[in-house]
Structure 1
Amino acid sequence: MTDSVRNVVVGRVVGNVVQAGSATVIPPEARPTAVAGLPPPAVFVGRENELARLTAALEPGGSEAVLVWSVGGLPGVGKTALAVCAARQAVAAGWFPGGVVMTNLRGYDQANQRLTASTALAGLLGALGVADEHIPPEVEDRARLWRSLLADRERMLVVADNVSDPDQVVPLLPGDSRHQVLITSRHRMAGLDHTRLLDLDVLDVPDAVRMLAAVLDISNPDDTRAADNPVECERVAQLCGGLPLAVRVAAALLVADPERSVADLAEALADGRHRLRELNFDGSLAVRAAFDLSYAHLDPDQARLLRLTALDPGPDVGLDTIAAIADTDRTTALRLIRRLRAAHLVQPGQSADRWRMHDLVKLYAAEKAAEDPDHDRTIVRMLDHYLATVTAAGDSHGEVRVGTEAVRAVDAERANLVPVIDLAHTAGHPGHVVALTRALTMYFDLRKLWTEWISTHELALSAARGAGDREAEATLLVKLGLAHGQLLRTEVAMACFRAALPLFRRLGDRVGFAEALNRLGVMFRHTGRSRWAMACHTWARDLFREAGDPKGQLGALHNMAVLHRRLRDLDQAAALHLECLVLCRELGPLLEGRVLDQLGVTYREMGRVSEAIECHRRNLRITEAVADPHGNALTMATLAVTYRVADRLTEAVSCHLEALRTFRAFGSLPSVGQVLKELGATYREMGRDDDAVVCWAEALRVFEALPAVSAGAVADRTRRDLAALTAEVRTPPAASRPGPAPGSPHPTAPG
């Protein structure tokens, strides 16, 4: 270049430099930018805390360590709606003068429809005004150009929607945290650096109802269906599981049919077999379609585990059960379930190593599972696993191994026990219905789950009869009678025992016959027919002796002792109790404790109060050692009465109240009523007649609420005692109860 030729360039240089003295280079026409690219707002309800947290995080001056906020959650939970709402608020506040760009990476579409990072960068560069011909072909070069342009811009927000894995979004990240990135994903972006995670849960019922009402109101302000039908709207929200997409579909169905009632929609959704089919609006809004995209993103092993786990009918499922259902080892099951957790298709359950699914995800996965050729074999594996778990909790004498890991394993599955038996019934496995129910009897007895006991035994009884299994039928009748007896349904219990007797006789089962006979004797005792009761117990004892059954013999002798005590033959009662203790040496501590407690009652009535207290205390040590809270409460209640007889009234009240707390926690209403009655008697001894009135009034309400023939007599006695005491102290039962003396326990303290 000579001194006479000097380029004077005005404008941006594009292409070759022209060496021609003064030259004016006219660049291509500038491409407009598109940095206000948020979609129209969707109906947004609730999420106040999440929205406030996310919006505040976008404010200038935040943590330099956080470049990305990742909003995660299951399909249809409202991730995009939250991200867009937060972005709008941040932009409106002036926090991003450089603008906002949004790209949908379509990470869960079919593979050929997903945006690669390279394609997404081309769109973002175009949004900043870069012409197509100036966008480099390689993703690395595009990322460098993108970061260079951002470095020269004022603060900017990038929203990346539907990201399926970190590789899709890493090239899109700015070079510094001055700019911010919001991403939404069905997966947890735990592997993305400088990222803070925000997992989104479903809406609670009130917010879901508000969303339903908002859509109806926007569509037609005169539509009053939501306001007029709050209960039905709550039902729809519950059936949608609070999933915003499902609620939006339900609202669209109502908007499209102004004559349709909310109750009709709720009824249509109530059938779980067809709920996903109903949650579909013209194919454009559909819950199943959203789930399809996530399901297609799983590898075969993950998809299989999702399908099979959905077959468990409980509210959540343990890892050991998942491994058994999938016929795999625990380590593999945990690895796969964690991948499903990362995809927000399962969530942690109520305790460690337990997992749950959203109701609609579970319905979807169960539909898929029904298509598996080994569907029935999977159910059998699950039933076998539950049967093994329950069976392991018992010992060779048919008693629960209280305080062991085996019992804790059954405790963990408590909410699943009845649904699993129901599943065995509906799936056509009567043998498992019967086996599971019989194995669970001892556990139901330990935890005093009378309602569950009765419902499962009625189902198993039907299954046994249908299968022609007379032995199971007879045994289940006895167990069913036991549960009814515990609820003071004496006549129902007696009918069960009487129905079992001829079955055992035809089977030639002398032990079973003796068991039914012994239980029938207890009901005779409860109804005041002592002669019949003694005949039953004596006959049962002889049959058990002949059969060499020490546990059965113990039960009959124990009942004979209690009956002798009722007949005031106290020496004979004590002798029989001591004979029972000899048998207990080979039968375990639980049975020994029960005998000791009743021996203590007999000693108390004999005036041997110190020996009675020692018997009760020995049983307390046993129930504490084996972690039997209900048995402990029974002994506390008995010890309380013995303390009252010994004039140790403060200790008596303390024992009454402790027993009352436990019985209330177990829902053992007959025991609650009885303890309240005895507590009132103790308060009378202390001169606290007002508190006694309160206790007896509450006891009367409990007894009157019991649907039992035998409870009527107890209620009548309590009513008479209460009336007499009320007249004496001239304090009506409905009066405000006085406060207790300072430092003294109040009868309602357990709550």
Structure 2
Amino acid sequence: MRGQERGGHNELSGTVHGPAVQAQTVYGGIHVQAPPPRPHPPWQLPPMGRITDRAAELRLLEGRRVRAGRAGDRTLVAVSGLGGVGKTALALAWLHTLREPCPDGQLYADLGAQSPAGPADPAEVTGRFLRALGVPGAQVPGTLAERSALYRSLTAGRRLVVLLDDAASAAQVRPLLPGGPGVTAVTSRWRLPGLSVDGCHWLHLEPLEVDDAVELLAETLADDRVRAQPEQARALVELCAGLPLAVRVAGARLAARPRRGITTMVRALAEEHDRLEELAIDGDHNVRAALDLTYQELPPDAARLYRLLGLHPGSEFGDGVAVALLAEPSSPEGATRARARALLDLLHRASLLTDADEDRHRFHDLVRLHAAHKAERDEPEPERAAALRRVADHYLATATRAEEVVDPQHRTMARDYGDGPVVTEDFGAGTEAALDWQERELANAMAVIRRARSAFPTVSWQLADALWPLFLRRKFSEQWRAAHEEGLAAAEELGDTAAQCRMLTSGGVGELGTGHPERALAMFERAARQFLADGNALGHARTLNYRGLAHQRLGRPDEATRYFTRAARELPRCGDVRAGGLARLNLADVALAQGHAPEAADHAAAAHAVLRASGDTYNAARAAIVLGRAHLARGEAGPAEEHLTAALGDLRAMSAAYETARALHALAELAEVRGDPALARARYGEALELYGAAGRADSADAGRARADLDRLRAPAEE
């Protein structure tokens, strides 16, 4: 994408794996590159919890796997049943035994059918899976179809275990099915008949029999009370309807009171059960009764954290969310973190939280609903609003910090935080760690953006703005559009025209990237009108570049040239010399496409000088590619090689896959001009690999490289 300038920064990049021998200038047609190493297998399954006497179900699942393996087929099973019946525990108990027959790794995703933020986007999940399988973030394709195709290709020869937990529909699951002969398990409250066309086997999980539930209770208590009070133990598990979650919660409460008899718990649970009977849905009242009793005996600070966590809009969260909820101006953050960890441990011991990953936690969906209900009942509205604001500020502050790490040159607009202490998560060091944090929290961030629009609209547009590096580098096109639509609506409600223009220009860049130049042009023009109305000459000048890009994508080179020319003239006058250099680069690109090589060379040389002086190595390398191509079009092989080779070195160092492919493509054409078809074939081939790695295998550039490579291969094959 030419000149995607956002307040002084322009970058589209990818990653190249593996060792390579590089040199400034190479003579004699030498091309050496070692194959990339295979990444370490991912092992993502959550820890296995307690499971009691599901031997028959485990034998059934394993028998289906063995039969499928003998036939050379993949294994696809779906486990359905009531909330709290133990679907995930059963799947984990089985899948954790398969490391030997499935040595290529384990992938896990919570598909969020019960999440307040809504079901997980399959495009987001496939992106996470691709990165876990070793695909660098910048090389993950932008659309679900492209991601699914690459995912199937990468997994075609691998024996993987995949757990898709809490699925909402067959349509959500299907893009996440791997291509290899491994094992995929799906859990859902509902049967998913649509998966029958994919060869799915079904297992509907029923509640535990009384004796098995009593055994689970005894294991939870780890003392002699069940043996001493067998009838009371049977009465207790019957009140829990054999649901393992309810039995564990009741057992955890008893375990915390070793002197309490089971009879006391039976009496209390029976009373709570009766109170909730009218609210029963699919047996959920059995869990809710147990949860109410457990909640009533939590220490006050643990009970408060529990109900405040119920306000969190996503299905899982890190330690930082709990710290943000507990933060007070008078308390040092270190002490608050220690307190948060202690209270989280207590909630885990009470079976109210489960591990999602290291330092990450999740509620069972029934537990989350229960916690939210307690917050609604026991927390005053101002306290609920303040808690939600602290959670939103936590995501906004950490996303902004990640934005600054990834994109230090661009203009970060001011952030508005609430009154409470702002807690920022520690995501590690470096660009990839920052992007990984933004991606891991994307579902939570999108939920906050939607929730904040009515509660505190400044957070809505500012959080959308902070996610810019993730959207630009790892695409997430649907979330890009949705976030900026919400952010724009919030900015309009606030009457904040500067925020509106930010949402329009950043959102318009996303529309350009997903092939909607008409929509992008309308957004850019609306921003231009607003900048004029506000008297913002620099903002208006920047839209000239944006509008030129849209016209270029619409096949209007003369209009594009007119806008780029104005941008090249006006941006330096307004103080943005670097953006003026980008406009010259765009002019060079248009001129070269029209066959005006001398004009293209002049613009590209000027752009290269400005961008290099501004410290923008990436865009300076892009200008060097255009300059090299212009020299090549004029028959000037020496200068062409000099500029293209320098650009290639810079772009390899930055792991910029797409632009590296463009440099190699041009060097392949140069090799043909010099009569070296072997070197040309090697360079075309490597360029094609990088076009594919950057998610641009279907681009016009990749098509031309493929045609040139086929043309060079044809004589040898004949």
* Counterpart position of 2:545: 518
1:324 equivalent in structure 2: 324
Separation in 2, partners of 1:597, 1:322: 50
Residue in structure 2 matched with residue 229 of structure 1 by the alignment: none
Distance (Å, rounded) in 1 between the aligned partners of 2:439 and 2:232: 60
**Aligned residue runs from structure 1 range 553-572, under 5 A:** 553-572=580-599
2:457 paired residue number: 430
1:403 matched to 2:431: yes
Q: Deviations over 1:137-163 (max 9, x none)?
A: xxxxxxxxxxxxxxxxxxxxxx99935
Q: Identify the range of structure 1 (429-438 vs 524-533) with the bigger mean alpha-carbon deviation.
A: 524-533
Instruction: Answer yes or no: is the 8 Å Cα contact 1:518–1:540 preserved in 2.
Output: yes
Is 1:651 aligned to residue 682 of structure 2? yes
C-alpha separation in 2, matches of 1:160 and 1:348: 16
- Whether 2:684 is the aligned partner of 1:677: answer no
CA deviation after TM superposition for structure 1 residue 509, in Å:
0.7
In the alignment, residue 703 of structure 2 is paired with which amino acid?
Answer: K
Matches within 5 A, 1:335-346: 335-346=342-353
Counterpart of 1:646 in 2: which secondary structure?
helix
Deviation at 1:376, TM superposition (A): 0.9
- Is residue 620–residue 635 contact of structure 1 (8 Å, CA) maintained in 2? yes
Alpha-carbon distance between aligned partners in 2 of 1:645 and 1:456, rounded to the nearest angstrom: 44
Report the alpha carbon displacement of residue 362 of structure 1 after superposing the two structures with TM.
2.0
Q: Give the Cα separation in 1 of the matches to 2:314 and 2:660.
A: 34
Question: What is the correspondence of 1:123-142 to structure 2 with a 5 Å cutoff?
Answer: 123=229
Measure, in 1, the Cα distance between the counterparts of 2:604 and 2:581: 9
Residue in 2 aligned with 1:460? Answer: 487
Q: TM-score, normalised by structure 1?
A: 0.54
1:633: which partner in 2?
658
The one-character-per-residue Cα deviations of 1:169-228 (angstroms, maximum 9, x if unpaired) are 7999xxxxxxxxxxxxxxxxxxxxxxxxxxxxxxxxxxxxxxxxxxxxxxxxxxxxxxxx
**Would you say 1:379 and 2:404 are equivalent positions?**
no
C-alpha distance in 1 between matches for 2:643 and 2:339: 52
User: Does the aligned pair in 2 maintain the 1:105–1:163 contact within 8 Å?
Assistant: no
Deviation per CA, 1:614-668, whole angstroms, max 9, x where unpaired?
6555555545545x5xx3234224523531452334323432442244234xxx6
For residues 570-625 of structure 1, the C-alpha deviation after alignment (integer angstroms, 9 at most, x for no partner) is 23323322322333333443333433444444344344556556655555554554
Q: Which has the larger radius of gyration?
A: 1
Task: Judge conservation of contact 1:656–1:675 (CA < 8 Å) in 2.
Answer: no
1:105–1:161 contact (8 Å) kept in structure 2: no
* Residue 413 of structure 1 pairs with residue 444 of structure 2: no
**TM-fit CA distance, 1:549:** 1.1
Q: Indicate how the Cα distance of structure 1 residues 320 and 525 shifts in structure 2: closer, same or farther if over 3 A, else same.
A: same
- Asked whether the 8 Å contact 1:475–1:512 carries over to 2, the reply is no
Where 1:345 maps in the other structure, the secondary structure is coil
| Cα distance, 1:117–1:614 mapped onto 2, change above 3 Å | same
Q: Paired residue for 2:45?
A: none
* Structure 2 CA distance for aligned equivalents of residues 171 and 291 of structure 1: 18
Shift of 1:107: 9.0
CA contact (8 A) 1:421 1:433 kept: yes
- The AA in structure 2 aligned to 1:362 is R
Match of 1:208 in 2: none
In the alignment, what sits opposite 2:609?
582
Q: CA deviation at 1:520?
A: 0.9
1:500 pairs with 2:527: yes
Q: 1:464 to 1:684 in 2, by over 3 A?
A: same
> Structure 1 unaligned runs (5+)?
1-41, 53-73, 89-99, 109-115, 128-158, 173-248, 250-274, 690-739, 742-751
Partner of 2:95: none
1:368-411 C-alpha deviation (Å, 9 max, x unpaired): 23342311111211222222222222255318997264444324
Q: Which amino acid aligns with 2:373?
A: E
Instruction: Say whether the 8 Å CA contact 1:434–1:463 is kept in structure 2.
Output: yes
State how far apart, in whole Å, the 2-side matches of 1:167 and 1:488 are: 59
Instruction: Give how far 1:86 is off.
Output: 11
Counterpart of 2:476 in structure 1 is 449
Question: CA 1:540–1:487 in structure 2 vs 1: closer, same or farther (change >3 Å)?
Answer: same
Asked if 2 retains the 8 angstrom alpha-carbon contact of 1:557 and 1:577, the reply is yes
Rounded to whole Å, the distance in 1 between the matches of 2:321 and 2:578 is 34
Question: What residue number does 1:280 align with?
Answer: 281
Q: How far has the Cα of 1:538 moved from its partner?
A: 1.8
| AA at the equivalent of 1:379 | L
Size of the alignment, in residue pairs? 470
Once the two structures are superposed, residues 25-83 of structure 1 have per-residue CA deviations (whole angstroms, 9 ceiling, x without a partner) of: xxxxxxxxxxxxxxxxx99897426999xxxxxxxxxxxxxxxxxxxxx9654999999
The 3-state SS of whatever aligns with 1:317 is strand
SS at match of 1:344: coil
Task: Report the equivalent of 2:58.
Answer: 48
CA, structure 1 residues 276+534, in 2 after alignment: closer, same or farther (shift >3 Å)?
farther
Distance 1:367 1:595, change over 3 A: farther
In 1, Cα distance between the equivalents of 2:216 and 2:359? 38
Does residue 367 (structure 1) correspond to residue 373 (structure 2)? The answer is: yes
* SS of alignment partner, residue 698 of structure 2: helix
Residue equivalent to 1:219 = none
Q: 1:595 aligns with which of 623, 636, 646?
A: 623
Residue in 1 aligned with 2:251?
162
- With over 3 angstroms needed to count, the CA separation of the structure-2 counterparts of 1:47 and 1:504, relative to structure 1, is same
Contact 1:637 1:659 in 2 (8 A): no
The amino acid that maps onto 1:309 is L
Aligned-residue CA RMSD (Å) = 4.6
Given the alignment, which residue of 546, 554, 564 partners 1:527? 554
Aligned to 1:207: none
Of 465, 468, 471 in structure 1, the residue corresponding to residue 498 of structure 2 is 471
How many Å separate the matches in 1 of 2:411 and 2:714?
A: 42
Cα distance change on mapping 1:684 and 1:50 into 2, 3 Å: closer
Partner SS, residue 658 of structure 1? helix
The Cα offsets for residues 428-486 of structure 1, whole Å up to 9 and x where unpaired, read as 22111111122222331122232221111111111222222222222322222211112
- Aligned residue identity for 1:496: M
Corresponding residue number in structure 1 for 2:301: 301
Structure 1 652/534 Cα, relative in aligned 2: closer, same or farther at 3 Å? same
**Unmatched runs of 5 consecutive residues or more in structure 2:** 1-51, 63-82, 91-204, 234-247, 262-272, 328-332, 413-428, 673-678
CA distance 1:162–1:402, shift in 2 (3 Å): closer
- Matches of 1:492 and 1:84, distance apart in 2: 56
Give the structure, 1 or 2, with the largest relative contact order (CA under 8 Å, sep 6 or more).
2
Please report the TM-score for the alignment, with normalisation by the length of structure 2: 0.56
Q: Could you tell me whether the CA contact under 8 Å between 2:518 and 2:554 is conserved in 1?
A: no
Q: Which residue of 2 aligns with 1:548?
A: 575
| Structure 2 CA distance for partners of 1:528 and 1:50, relative to 1, 3 Å | closer
The Cα shift of 1:301 comes to: 2.7
* Aligned equivalents of 2:670, 2:292: Cα separation in 1: 71
**Cα distance in 2 for residues equivalent to 1:367 and 1:515:** 49
Change (3 A) 1:388 1:362: same
Paired residue for 1:358? 364
Partner of 2:43: none
Instruction: Report the CA distance shift for 1:638/1:422 in structure 2 as closer, same or farther (over 3 A).
Output: farther
- Cα displacement string for residues 515-548 of structure 1 (whole angstroms, at most 9, x for unaligned residues): 1121111222233333322221122222211111
Distance 1:494 1:593 in 2: 27
Q: What amino acid is the match of 2:451?
A: L
3-state secondary structure, aligned to 1:306: helix
User: What's the offset of the Cα at 1:278?
Assistant: 6.0
Q: Is the 8 A contact 2:277 2:285 kept in 1?
A: no
1:306 and 1:340 in contact (8 A); partners too: yes
Percentage of matched positions with identical amino acids: 25
